[in-house]
Amino acid sequence: MPRALILVLDSVGCGGAQDAALYGDAGADTLGHLAVACATGRGDRNGVRQGLLNAPNLDALGLGLVALASSGMMPPGFSLPAEPKALWGYGVECAQGKDTPSGHWEMAGAPALAPWGYFPKAAPCFPPKLTQALIAEGGLPGILGDCHAPGIEIIERLGAEHIRTGMPICYTSADSVFQIAAHEEHFGLERLYDLCKVARRLCDALAIGRVIARPFVGDARQGFVRTPRRKDFAIPPPPGNLLERVAQAGRAMASIGKVGDIFAHCFTGQEIKRDGNMAHFDATLEALRDLPDGGLIITNFLDFDTDFGHRRDIAGYAHCLEIFDSRMPELFAAMRPGDLAVISSDHGNDPTWTGTDHTREHAPILCFGPRVAGGPIGRRESFADIGASLAAHLELPATASGSSFLKAA
């Protein structure tokens, strides 16, 4: 019986969606702009990387072809392989927004059923009723922030006051999210998680997609640093997704990275969370080694987004993609004859773009395996075609949405 993997390169979009202007993202192109920046020296960093974006394994699968089809531009450093090793195309998100959960849910074959709720770009940005209830139920002296802000910047700005007052730092972004940052030692990690559970319940009525715990350490003199003990508290995903189909069939499932949080721990099987992309790549190879026939692995590679996209770090983003690419031969070698893997993304986060938020983009689709003959699958009108295709490959009932591209290949 075959096995399947979904590898989510978090935020590695491949060109602005047709409705990107609605989100202030007209012209955004994470992969294309990243490659151009590298070609013009903006991606150089001494001791880290320099020159053209170098991702030969992804290029051989057809990533350059994907970018050309999606954006109309061939990224510098990529090519037009005569015989790409993957089924290649790109997906258009049908759900509204540019959020992590909606992208993953749709990828799994069950798009978000209703629009997300968002907080306005105002200060304060949270409804007074929400703030008052959080303070009362959390036993807090108050909150800091109450605004749209980049996570690193607001912790640097308010970290010392947080320690002095005991008030957690609460903020949001262009995503449907309520984020709470607190010092692991002065506030307490478990206390932060408990507070986020209260906030999750209070945010349900507002249709806020995620409440995120953002623990950090440090002090005002040496600076503050976020720790890897972040935890997301998400709305449960829609029914009929691929994970649910796998669980209903009694198959094995491994959720690596923040996948368990994104799917609210619903049908997520064995959850594995480590620190960083390469640790998650190791975990993927280990899980694949032990995965029984008919099983599924979903891995989220978060560093692209959190460490480099939001921080608009071009060189870091390029290096991150190059390191991921260098590990691909290990995955190829670990796959069995009937295995099928899909590389895709949940949204964009163009490191050359203005601001610090996600960008509304197409998602690359590269579908490969030892027995897969490469070729185009074209523009897919929903990320859900990924879940539908893997459900077909695993011989499971169809997902709630999506059309298999395996039939057309």
CATH of the domain at 170: 3.30.70.1250
Give helix 30-39 / helix 314-334 axis angle, nearest 10°.
110
Asked whether 284 and 299 are in contact (CB, 8 A), the reply is yes
Strands 144-148 and 270-272: unpaired
Strand duo 375-380 + 340-344: pairing: unpaired
Residues 6+ apart with CB under 8 A from 110: 237, 238, 239, 240, 241, 242, 244, 384, 387, 399, 400, 401
The number of domains in the chain is 2
CB atoms near residue 62 (< 10 Å): 31
Long-range contacts of 47-55 (CB under 8 A, 24+ apart): 48/315, 48/316, 48/319, 49/315, 49/318, 49/319, 49/322, 52/76, 52/77, 53/77, 53/78, 53/318, 53/321, 53/322, 54/322, 54/325, 55/321, 55/322, 55/325
CA 364 to chain CA centroid, Å, is 13
Q: What percent of the chain has pLDDT over 70?
A: 100
Domain assignment of residue 409, yes or no: no
Mean of the pLDDT values across residues 291-315?
96
Least confident among 110-124, 251-265, 334-348, 387-401: 110-124
Q: Work out the percent of the chain whose per-residue pLDDT is above 90.
A: 94
Asked if residue 75 and residue 190 are part of one domain, the reply reads no
Determine the pLDDT at residue 124.
96
* pLDDT tier at 407, thresholds 50, 70, 90: confident
Relative orientation angle of helices 128-138 and 189-203, to the nearest 10 degrees:
140
Tokens at 40, concatenated: 């013009």
Query: What's the pLDDT score for residue 409?
Result: 46
Domain for residue 118, yes or no? no
So what's the pLDDT on residue 1?
Answer: 79
Residues 6+ apart with CB under 8 A from 30: 11, 12, 13, 14, 309, 348, 349, 350, 351, 359, 361
User: What's the whole-model pTM score?
Assistant: 0.90
Q: Does one domain contain both 313 and 343? A: yes
Q: What is the pLDDT of residues 117-156, one digit of tens each?
A: 999 999 999 999 999 999 999 999 999 999 999 888 999 9
| pLDDT band at residue 166 under the 50/70/90 scheme | very high
Instruction: Report the C-alpha gap between 167 and 180 in whole angstroms.
Output: 10
Give 37-68 as a DSSP string.
HHHTTTT-BTTTB-SS---HHHHHHTHHHHHH
User: Does residue 8 share a domain with residue 30?
Assistant: yes
Q: Are 299 and 8 in contact (CB under 8 A)?
A: yes
Q: 120 in a domain, yes or no? A: no
Omega cis (within 30) before 124? yes
- Regarding whether 387 and 246 lie in a shared domain, the answer is yes
The residue range of the domain holding 171 is 128-233
Tell whether 87 and 183 lie within a shared domain. Answer: no
The residue whose two tokens read 């897919």 is: 380
Is 408 part of any domain? no
Mean pLDDT score of the chain, rounded to an integer? 96
Domain's final residue, options 233, 262, 291? 233
- 348 DSSP 8-state letter: B
Tell the residue number behind the tokens 């303070």, with chain if given. Answer: 135
Same domain flag for 248 and 389:
yes
The residues near 55 (Cβ < 8 Å, ≥ 6 apart) are: 63, 77, 78, 321, 322, 325
